[in-house]
Structure 1
Amino acid sequence: MARFAILALLLTPILLAGCQPSLPSGCPPSCLEADLLGKDLGEAELSGAHLAEANLRNARLERANLSGADLSGALLTEANLRQARLSKAILIGAQMKKANLAGADLTDANLTGSTLSGADLTGANLTRATMTGTILYDATLVGIQLSGADLRSIYMSKARMSGAQLDGSNLGGSVLSGSDLSGAVLVRAKLSGASLNMANLSSAMLNNAFLEGASLYAATLSGASLQDARLMGANLVGADLTGVDLRGADLTGALLTLSDMREASVSITDPQVAQLNEKKRLALARDADLGGVKYNRETRWPVRFSVPSTAVFME
Structure 2
Amino acid sequence: MFLSKKGASKAWGVFFLGVFLVVLTMSLVSSGFWDSLRASITGRATSQTFNLNISVGNSAPNITAVYILGPYDPSEEAQRMVTFYFTANDSDGYQNIDTTSAKANFTFYNASSTIVRTNNSCSSLGSIDSKTLNFSCTIGIWYFDPQGTLWGVTAYVTDNSAAAGQNKTVNFTYNSLKALKSHPTAFTFTSINPGATNTSSSNDPLVLNNTGNYHFSQLTQNISINATNLVGESNSAYALYANNFTVGNTTGGSPLIECGGAGSFFMTKSATKNITTAILGYGNLSAGSGTGQNNLYVCLTQAGNELTSQAYSTNGPNSDGAWTAAAL
TM-score range, shorter chain: under 0.3
TM-score (norm 2): 0.20
Structure whose alpha-carbon radius of gyration is higher: 2
Q: Which has the higher contact order (CA 8 A, sep 6+)?
A: 2
TM-score (norm 1): 0.20
